[in-house]
Structure 1
Amino acid sequence: MLLLWGSAHAASSAVPAVPVPAPVPEPARGAPVQALDVLGVRSYLLVPGRCPTGGCALVVVSHPRAQDAARMLRSTGVPVLTGALLQAQFAVLLSGDGGPTTWGSPDALAEVAQAHLEATGRFRWNGRTYALGLSMGGLMALRSALPGSPYAVSGVALIDGWSDLRGAWGSAMTRREEINAAYGLLTAPGPELDPLQQAYLAPMLPLFVAASPDDTTVPARSNGERLFTLAHPALSEYVPLTGPHLGANRFSADMARRLSAFFQRLEQGVTARKR
């Protein structure tokens, strides 16, 4: 099976050389690409050709370990997801996440908040933000939706996403070293730094969680499945997958449709409450 992102989360520190095509794939050409630079880290903003009268919501997409926003933009998989979001009239911020191995740290979230502020000033924004995290990006997506986040997030989607920071820290020495550097730690992160532990103390979130028991990189049972026990029951969706970490079925037309429909349901719920 083709792996669109390779095995960049493997315990080894080596990152496989996955070819990146030079041109932006068709699904990303549905909207102009705007570059945003915050503290030397680049993010990209994609805006639909026309926002509705009330404006567009924004989806912030956080990348896997050792990736960046340019890799997402040029990949063969992520634009399938973002293309569906653009078609549904969501603006999309492909986030640099403060760097390639920030593991959802509070400092990195503060940098993402600056990109969010700049991005929302560049289009007709309706005031609502959603988050999508891929693999390591699940930590950033989840942290952004918890109390104390510098910007409000109304729903979170994780695809093969980490949510258990302490579990990631204990799973491999390379991850441990990266997490310690990102968080400024010498020992394991405490529960106050772990997005999953903090989610237990927060109101139930609207969650879209896609995970596979075949994933040997991000264990579904201790991440996606465990997080989903905290999901808002009426607004959430769990998508059981098969196959390895970030395999091709994570970036299929069906996944794009389901992901887009999840965010659309949340938007429609806001509209219905305003009537």
Structure 2
Amino acid sequence: MRWTRLGNPRSPSLLQVPADCQVRSCPLVVVSHPRAQDAARLRDSAQVGKISQALLAADFAVLLSGDGGVNTWGSPAALREVAQVHREATSRFRWNSRTYALGLSMGGLLSLRSALPDSPYTVRGVALIDAWVSLRGAWGSALSRQREIGKAYGLTVPPTPTLDPLPLAQRLAPVAPLPLFLAYSPTDTVVSSRKNAELLIPKAEQGVSEIVRLDGPHLGGNRFSPQMIARLVGFYQGLEQRAIARQHKEFPPGLPAPAVQRAQTETSKS
């Protein structure tokens, strides 16, 4: 299987689809990259490659997102660009109408933002590994990050809470808690887990979320061990199983759910 380039040539994304997903409907996982990286860097990473291959083997299509650029920090412009790529990607295979997100470091901001109600595409669950989720926290953490965020958002002053996915997710959680996979290390000196991942733990949906506390440096090797990857893939599989069970309850066999019908129809027209 090969990666297919999609989207803006200045910040291309890469899609790979399991062969089975041309004949049966499959979900999509959108992977958002760390600071100063891009989709090609994720493709060539031995560590991220293990995640991609495990997801593909489990019949998840994988979109390595260009995120609108290397240092976009989950900006509205970046999310709009990813939404366009998402539409293109889901027309390339038999998509089952369900999308999940995976955010690595800086990519956590875009991944979390994509799961909030005003996102231009729907995300059913989010996995975050050593991730930034506080935009204002990132702004105040270093002048270099402040300059990058200012450029990405067009800001000269700190971002308001309406631009920050963390407080938005915190306000949403009492009504609609998020299915979350949170992997973090208290000894991470790049992204403070105390000011990021740990603030999301109370907002995670009970029964389906996974909280994994690790040791060691930022994006260290233990984040990509076989055991961790199995837990990550299992998180997405659990959400798929729940969605399928709910779908069968609402739409008995022989009467496909409208969303699935629509996704399959759109695919056949592409």
When normalised by structure 2's length, the TM-score is 0.89
Using the alignment, how far apart are the partners of 1:64 and 1:257 within structure 2? 21
1:180 maps to 150
- Distance in 1 of aligned mates of 2:133 and 2:87: 25
Higher helix content, 1 or 2: 2
Alpha-carbon displacement from aligned partner over 1:217-237 (angstroms, at most 9, x marks no partner): 001111111112111112101
The answer to whether the 8 Å contact 1:81/1:255 transfers is no
Deviation at 1:49, TM superposition (A): 1.8
Q: CA RMSD in A?
A: 1.1
- Deviation, 1:53, is 6.0
Partner residue in 2 for 1:189 = 159
Q: What pairs up with 1:19-98 in 2 under 5 angstroms?
A: 31-38=1-8, 40-51=10-21, 54-98=24-68
What is the aligned counterpart of 1:124 among 94, 99, 118? Answer: 94
SS at match of 2:12: strand
Q: 2:208 aligns to what? A: 235
2:127 corresponding residue in structure 1: 157
- Cα deviation, residue 250, structure 1: 1.1
Corresponding residue number in structure 2 for 1:133:
103
- Report runs of 4+ in structure 1 exceeding 3 Å deviation: none
Q: CA deviation at 1:39?
A: 5.7
1:142 equivalent in alignment to 2:115: no
Report Cα offsets for 1:126-154 as digits up to 9, x if no partner: 00000000000000000000011000000
Q: Percent identity?
A: 60
Post-superposition offset of 1:51: 2.4
- Normalised by the size of structure 1, how large is the TM-score? 0.87
- SS in structure 2 opposite 1:72? helix
2 CA distance for matches of 1:54 and 1:86? 14
Cα distance in 1 between the residues matched to 2:117 and 2:154: 22
Range moving further from structure 2, 255-264 or 52-61:
52-61
Equivalenced residue count is 245
Offset of residue 54 of structure 1: 4.8
Query: 84, 108, 124: which one pairs with 1:114?
Result: 84
In 2, the alpha carbon distance for the partners of 1:53 and 1:227 equals 38
Which amino acid in structure 1 is aligned with residue 6 of structure 2?
Answer: L
Unmatched 5+ stretches in structure 1:
1-30
| Distance (Å, rounded) in 2 between the aligned partners of 1:269 and 1:54 | 18
* 2:10 and 2:69 in contact (8 A); partners too: no
Match of 2:225 in 1: 252
Distance 2:11 2:138 in 1: 24
Maintained 8 Å contact 1:73/1:94? yes
How far is 1:32 from its partner?
Answer: 2.2
Can you give the 5+ residue segments of structure 2 that lack an aligned partner in the other structure? 249-270
Deviation for aligned residue 1:84: 0.8
Cα shift at 1:37:
2.8
